[in-house]
Structure 1
Amino acid sequence: MKTTAPSQVRKQEAGSTLFFTQQLCTIVFLVAVASPSVRAAEIYAFGQQLSIPQNTASGSILARYYATPTQVCGLLECFITAVRNYPNGGNNAVAGPTITTNVSGISARLLINGQAYVTGEFSQPIKLSQPVEVQLLADGRQNLGGSLAGANTVAPNYYTLTMSNRTASQIYLGGTITPIAGTCSVPNQTVILPKGSLNKLSNVGSTIGMKNFQIQINNCPKGYNRVGYTLDPVGGTIANSPGVLPLAGGSTASGIKIRVENAQGVPATMGTSIKVDGYNKTADGSFAIPMQASYIRTDAVAKPGTVNGAMTVYLDYQ
């Protein structure tokens, strides 16, 4: 398992990419909007103390906040007809969709069904099919920390969403940003599974060749409220196959893949931030997350050969 550890904070900071390779039978596993008349809702995003790496690549997502359709409009179904973006929570809307906040180095972006929109009316109402997301982004300026609260003393919201029933929802940003010098690191590594025999993988779902390994998270500085990690399979997740990695380049086997599990043998959770147990904001430290990997038969028809898989470890901070 081989990894590359790009510096990205997604919140997140890219860590290593774990590559697995193996060979069955000689298996080697390596590894301008109309004014609404009524307010539908007021949403206060974040609203807490956020510790964020001081030096982060511009465009990196630093934090995310979600509001359900019910929170946005007070109804089970929301239809949005317009959006307005107010930089710094000020008086004047701008196109956006990325706008500055009151904290130097931090910008914000609102996503509706996963897409950011400039200020204006929509040609057709947009039905919310997923929670609205507010992202905080590094924007290349020096992160000096401070309060996110809007600058307009009368209406300090950063976003206004107009609904099809002419009501509106305001989204405010709250909380305090504390810049932290330094981040954790995740070294690259390769995991090699033992050789295995195809005839021992007799049924779909059967496994062999279990190998223990650890995800190392090193040199975490003190000061963060939380450090998390997210596992991301290179090539994307496979539906209905928890913990299973897609075949990576150089694989010659078929019908066989690699499954990653936690120390208890439960398939690894992919795409979700998991708290690094043991991290304490009052002290720096390094941590080892015990994992295991094995071959798994995924298809009725299988062919022996080399099996490669990889995953990337992303770090996030609060």
Structure 2
Amino acid sequence: MVFLAAVASPSAKADIILSAFGQQLSIPKDTASGTILARHYITPQQLCYQSRCDTKYLWAYPNGKSGGSTSSATTITTTVSGISVRLLINGKAYGTGPMEQLSQPIELQLVRDDRPNLGGSLDDVPYNDYYYIIRYDMTTVQFHPSVKLKGTITSINGTCSVPSQTVKLPKTLINRLDRIGSTAGTQNFQLRINDCPKGYNRIGYTLDPVGGTIANSPGVLPLASGSTASGVKIRVENAQGAPATMGTSITVDEYNKAAGGSFAIPMQASYIRTDTVATPGTVNGAMTVLLDYR
């Protein structure tokens, strides 16, 4: 009887109403199922006013219908077709059931699902309905904070494109690279992002070195297939000659939501001495450009 009482859906009004997301989010219509579209965090302080919450149980309600059936699934649908939500506690996804004590922020993820991506408002649930209700205990009293979702999803036909290109650096003498960190043979080029449709709130790009980033070597690409030189690599730089940021999304500042368009981002590349011993030969490097949309 005690167990049954613990898992029953709370009938009393939730003590605290927490809202997740709230922003306008524009996504490509053909975004792959399973893609995480946005993240939102709720701290223990927001939930129970302490650094650690004695959380006991979670109720998850598909489509935000807290008066209806719960779900034990770790991902549940929202009222927006094509968009689901997932709740993680201490890095683990949960559906309805017992939960561990909360010591880190709760993470909520909006996730693309298999339904048609039609867009709509996450607020489109009755006033007293919630997607999640969390039980935690404080001394002899139980509390049941609830989580609502807010914000608007816009589905957009089309994405930008990034054409492949090869940048050829000029030949240089090995003795021009006379010490570790010295550079030579700078070649200007443009990173092109073409045919971006209207409607996105933000477009970003991430430079992803083929072979991974090199620790303590900002902007430097690992040697790629066909390289015969040693002790020398290629460094990618911005137009001012500072090392390019790798692995982090960078906003395309020129993009305008009302206009769309194509953009050319000026960059440059150069040889860089990376080791005490260097031998001449060919130096190849590569990177992938990944686009993200909001």
Q: TM-score under structure 1 normalisation?
A: 0.75
Native 8 Å contact 1:201 1:208 kept in 2: yes
The structural deviation recorded for 1:102 is 1.0
Deviations 1:83-110 (A, max 9, x none): 5543222334323322211100112233
Give 2:28's aligned amino acid: P
Give the structure 1 partner of residue 72 of structure 2.
95
Separation (CA, whole Å) in 2 of partners of 1:273 and 1:200: 34
Give the structure 2 partner of residue 146 of structure 1.
120
Matches within 5 A, 1:218-257: 218-257=194-233
2:20 to 19, 24, 45: 45
Deviations 1:97-147 (A, max 9, x none): 22211100112233455553454435x64642xx54433222132112111
Native 8 Å contact 1:107 1:137 kept in 2: yes
Q: Does residue 179 in structure 1 map to residue 175 in structure 2?
A: no
Do the aligned partners of residues 156 and 135 (structure 1) sit closer, same or farther apart at CA in structure 2, a change above 3 Å counting? same
2:86 to 86, 100, 109: 109
Range that drifts further, 131-140 or 67-76: 67-76
Deviations 1:27-79 (A, max 9, x none): xxxxx869999989654222122222222222223333345565555445668
Give the structure 2 partner of residue 12 of structure 1.
none
Separation (CA, whole Å) in 2 of partners of 1:68 and 1:121: 19
Give the structure 2 partner of residue 212 of structure 1.
188
Q: Does residue 157 in structure 1 map to residue 131 in structure 2?
A: yes
Native 8 Å contact 1:263 1:292 kept in 2: yes
Native 8 Å contact 2:60 2:131 kept in 1: no
Native 8 Å contact 1:40 1:73 kept in 2: no
The structural deviation recorded for 1:168 is 6.2
Separation (CA, whole Å) in 1 of partners of 2:43 and 2:230: 42
Give the structure 2 partner of residue 309 of structure 1.
285
Give 1:116's aligned amino acid: A
Unaligned runs of 5+ in 1: 1-31
Separation (CA, whole Å) in 2 of partners of 1:169 and 1:294: 56
Deviations 1:136-176 (A, max 9, x none): 22213211211113746424134648589876654432111
TM-align CA RMSD: 3.3
SS at match of 2:73: coil
The structural deviation recorded for 1:267 is 1.6
Unaligned runs of 5+ in 2: 1-5
Do the aligned partners of residues 71 and 287 (structure 1) sit closer, same or farther apart at CA in structure 2, a change above 3 Å counting? farther
Separation (CA, whole Å) in 2 of partners of 1:274 and 1:44: 28
Matches within 5 A, 1:112-131: 112=89, 114-121=91-98, 125=101, 127-128=103-104
SS at match of 2:223: coil
Give 1:278's aligned amino acid: E
Percent identical: 63
Separation (CA, whole Å) in 1 of partners of 2:199 and 2:60: 32
SS at match of 1:308: coil
Q: Does residue 276 in structure 1 map to residue 252 in structure 2?
A: yes
Do the aligned partners of residues 197 and 114 (structure 1) sit closer, same or farther apart at CA in structure 2, a change above 3 Å counting? farther
Do the aligned partners of residues 76 and 230 (structure 1) sit closer, same or farther apart at CA in structure 2, a change above 3 Å counting? farther
SS at match of 1:295: strand
Give 1:306's aligned amino acid: T
Separation (CA, whole Å) in 1 of partners of 2:82 and 2:23: 18
SS at match of 1:94: coil
Higher relative contact order (CA 8 A, sep 6+): 1
Count matched residues: 284
Which structure: larger Rg?
2
Give the structure 2 partner of residue 18 of structure 1.
none
